[in-house]
A and B are shown apart, each in its own frame.
Chain A
Amino acid sequence: MLFPTVQFGLFFPPVLVLSWVLMSRPRLWKPFIVVASYCFYAAADPLFCFLLAGVTLGNQAAALLMGRTDRAGVRKAIMITAVALDLLDLGVFKYYGFFAESVDKLASDFGLGLPIGLATIALPVGISFFTFQAISYTVDVYRREVPAGKTIDVAVYLSFFPHLVAGPIVRAREFLPQLEKPRDPNRVAVGPALMLIGMGLVKKVVIADYLGSHAVDPVFGAPAVYHGPDVLLSAYAYAAQIYCDFSGYTDIAIGLALLMGYVFPQNFDRPYSAKSLRDFWRRWHMTLSRFLRDFLYIPLGGNRGGRVRRYRNVVITMLLGGLWHGAAWTFVLWGGWHGIGLVVEDLFRGRVKIPTWLQRVLTFHVVLIGWILFRAQSLSLTGQWFARLAHWGGSPQNFGVATVVMILVVMIGQNLPERPLERMRQWIENLQPALLGAALALTIMLVGATVSSQGVAPFIYFRF
């Protein structure tokens, strides 16, 4: 179920009302919210619910078993088994087709035929997100950072519908404590919640979808049809689109959770104002960065073992981070680009003095090149995209005023001084809730009117 749809509009108000009615009785609230979340998930495909339930029960069983023993070896074996099963599950659903096709193609190139069954397996929506959360729970229990929770709490944690399909990736230690006692009905961040939902809708439906359909999809679909200006514009448009699409979703998710009394971690912090790639990853999809740091980079050795090992760990982490986004070589390339970029940046840190504004411009354009790799549908189309940059002969087709204005608003908006924007946001958040509710209704009407006959495009991160 997409957030900006009539279906979700009908789903959420009764769930919110019942959630607060039942909040003081956790024995009723928890099963209710699990059922509501599974209904939300079943809208994509009811069969996927079995997978979600299986991941929940499997990891909870591992957590409970670890809680019953103090033997380090046994605990480690349980943790490894659970994580391996999670990754196997992710591998089968997300990477099997990619693996089978790659091996089959390689074998064909060498004149060999391999008996690998080629099959298309439906990718369950949000599998990467809830699997990562399940892994974080199991590993955190193993590390004794959180105790094994009650099964119903873990079920709520993994299935809670605001973050279920596209994050943010909430850690168990952030969410399970919030389930220990009912949320205080006298402490609800109504203003920020409504503001986030409204802003998220505008970002996703108005900006991201418009840029996608007008300046990005046509060009990346067939770069050979376009000339340099349109090709270049498509990169900037995609940078704006993916930010608005993903951060828009996250804003809505955080806002919905806030209305229910729950707080999620921040996921974006003006990423295009980053002064370095390292800074970018502190601002972009922050919960994934954190996950990769804690569950991949540090276990690989992190900063220990000297510079070469550190760089190796960075590149491996970024390559796998790229692969997490999807089963395609373009994502691996994107991860590799960032990995190498981080290494190069570290090599030059402190040796070159660059003005802050130039740092921002350079960082943004390194990120921009990465987005081209990320968006391209195949390696050959990536090559075509870059090749078309050199063709400046034809007249631009996609340079609409709205497209350019939207790109500028997104890019410049993130580099404006924070304080005036913060003050304006606070002023809006402090308005009376009834006024904010009416403003949200008006926003939804206006946003809804911008939806074309094709409806709201799926969120980019849904397929991850």
Chain B
Amino acid sequence: MPEDHRMDRFERTYQHRWRARHALLAILLCAGLLVVFEGGAIRHQGDTMNHGIGRTLVLAVGKPAGWLADQLPFQAAGRHLTNLVSPNQDLGDNGQGFDAADLTPGAAGSVPPVTPDAFAPASIGAAAPARVPLHTLLVTGDSMSTPLDDDIAELLAPKGVTVIRDPHIGTSISNTFILDWAREAQSQVKQHKPQAVVMFIGANEGFSMPDAAGAQVNCCSAEWASILATRERLMMNTYRQAGAARVYWLTLPAPRDPTRREVARVVNAADVVAAEPWQDDVDIINTVPVFTPGFVYRTAMPINGSETIVRESDGIHLNNAGAAYEAKLVVAQLEQNYTL
């Protein structure tokens, strides 16, 4: 076991007579350089934070820092310098983001045509299409999608299904700074060409979004819900690959925090509306009756006759037991459409 004799290990460095002012000089110089080169990133970081004192403080520094960085040529030089090591560059050429996509509603008075894809076969008494083998499944979303992705992979790997797990923790559809899900969906489809997609997202929603005119719309009015649903619809359309793939979109179980609960309620409503044009290809898997009947939060629920904790202590996510249970439900849903 170690002895307590390492406290003097910096003694030799004191002979250089570096002083406190040297420490301050070094740190302030470092901070100054970061403001000049990365001021825009500080501002953007503030923009992506949830409302609160932390965001206010970061923006109080980030806005002037961003402005200063904008006026100087160093920011672009810094990006150029660090581009080589950035892991996010591969999204650069993958289609349009939400901002670029045409999300404006049709002209006033016009009615978008209803396509056959809007009808699930069961809803019109038609026979379900024959089940086909499933080879490639993409499980994606924000932190809600973990460890669900692992559990689905565990269940399907022995059946020969390649499960691609691509969670993006901390992201949301309403905030495009960290990740633009419109682009990400296109990138995922291009890269993996999944036959089916399981999407579980919504833990971080609630950011304001621009409407068609560019004005910011705050959560959680009907207008905000309509923008979110439009974005989700764009993603669903990408994932369904013109009917070549099925999408399984999970709604959010009620969170414990009342404020988050209200956001989740709106997100769930948007999910349903978003899927309307493609009910043949897009299944909404409603987690609410399973985990939070009546949209009332609960920590534990009976599983196999035993009361089991299914939520994390944050009151938002499913824990391992909850995710494992949800994975079985998702696989059961997949079995409706695929031979596994």
The interface of chain A, by Cβ under 8 A from chain B, is 6-7, 9-10, 12-13, 16-17, 20, 23, 43, 97, 101, 104-105, 108, 118-123, 171, 173-174, 185-194, 218, 221-222, 224-225, 258-259, 261, 263, 265-266, 281-282, 286, 289-290, 293, 297, 377-378, 384, 429-430, 433-434, 436-438, 440-442, 444-446, 448-455
Contact = CB atoms under 8 A, between A and B. Distances in A.
A174 B18 contact: no
The 9 residue pairs across chains A and B that have the minimum distance between CB atoms: A437-B26, A449-B82, A221-B150, A185-B20, A441-B33, A222-B153, A437-B29, A433-B22, A266-B6
Contacts of A445: 34, 37-38, 78, 81-82
Contact of B24 (A17, A171, A221, A454): A17
Interface in B134-164: 146-147, 149-151, 153-154, 157-158, 163
B233 interface: no
Given A377-B320, A433-B22, A437-B27, 10 more contacts: A6-B45, A97-B313, A185-B19, A185-B20, A189-B10, A221-B153, A221-B165, A437-B26, A442-B33, A455-B178
A279 B19 CA distance: 37
B26 A434 contact: yes
A442 B33 CA distance: 9
11 contacts: A10-B42, A20-B23, A20-B24, A120-B311, A190-B23, A221-B149, A222-B154, A261-B20, A265-B7, A433-B26, A446-B82
Contact of A222 (B4, B25, B157, B167): B157
A9 B31 contact: yes
Contacts of A97: 309, 313
A442 B37 CA distance: 10
A193 B23 contact: yes
A42 B272 CA distance: 38
B142 to A, nearest CB: 9
B153 A444 contact: no
Contacts of A450: 85-87
B31 A121 contact: no
A402 B77 CA distance: 26
Nearest to A281: B1
B31 to A, nearest CB: 5
A258 B10 contact: yes
B186 to A, nearest CB: 15
Contacts of B27: 12-13, 16, 259, 437
A378 B45 CA distance: 35
A281 B168 CA distance: 36
Nearest to A206: B85
Interface of B: 1-2, 4, 6-7, 9-10, 13-14, 16-31, 33-34, 37-38, 41-42, 45-46, 54, 57-58, 61-62, 78, 81-83, 85-88, 146-147, 149-151, 153-154, 157-158, 163, 165, 167-171, 178-179, 299-300, 305-309, 311-315, 319-320
A265 B314 CA distance: 34
A440 B25 CA distance: 12
Contacts of B4: 171, 173-174, 265, 290
A293 B2 CA distance: 9
Given A6-B58, A446-B85, A265 B300 contact: no
A261 B17 CA distance: 13
A441 B34 contact: yes
Contacts of A266: 6, 9
Chain A interface mostly helix, strand, loop or mixed?
Answer: helix
Nearest to B6: A266
B1 A293 contact: yes
Nearest to A283: B2
B2 A286 contact: yes
Contact of A6 (B21, B23, B42, B87): B42
Nearest to A223: B154
Nearest to A209: B87
Contacts of A434: 25-26, 29
A12 B30 CA distance: 12
A446 B38 CA distance: 11
A441 B21 CA distance: 18
A221 B319 CA distance: 13
Given A190-B26, A436-B26, A118 B309 contact: yes
A168 to B, nearest CB: 10
Given A120-B299, A433-B26, A448 B41 contact: yes
A289 B3 CA distance: 10
Given A378-B320, A429-B13, A441 B29 contact: yes
Contacts of A455: 169-170, 178
B317 to A, nearest CB: 10
A201 to B, nearest CB: 12
Given A118-B300, A437-B30, A189 B20 contact: no
B163 A225 contact: yes
A453 to B, nearest CB: 5
Given A123-B313, A190-B23, A448-B38, A224 B1 contact: no
Contacts of A442: 33
A453 B157 contact: no
A43 B50 CA distance: 13
A41 B87 CA distance: 31
Given A10-B61, A224-B153, A444 B34 contact: yes
A13 B153 CA distance: 45
Nearest to A120: B313
Instruction: From A9, A101, A191, name the one whose CB has the most chain B CB atoms within 10 angstroms.
Output: A9
Contacts of A436: 26
Given A108-B306, A118-B309, A449-B83, A191 B170 contact: no
Nearest to B161: A225
A17 B30 CA distance: 14
Contacts of B25: 433-434, 437
Contact of B87 (A378, A438, A440, A452): A452
Instruction: From A97, A119, A189, name the one whose CB has the most chain B CB atoms within 10 angstroms.
Output: A189
A16 B24 contact: yes
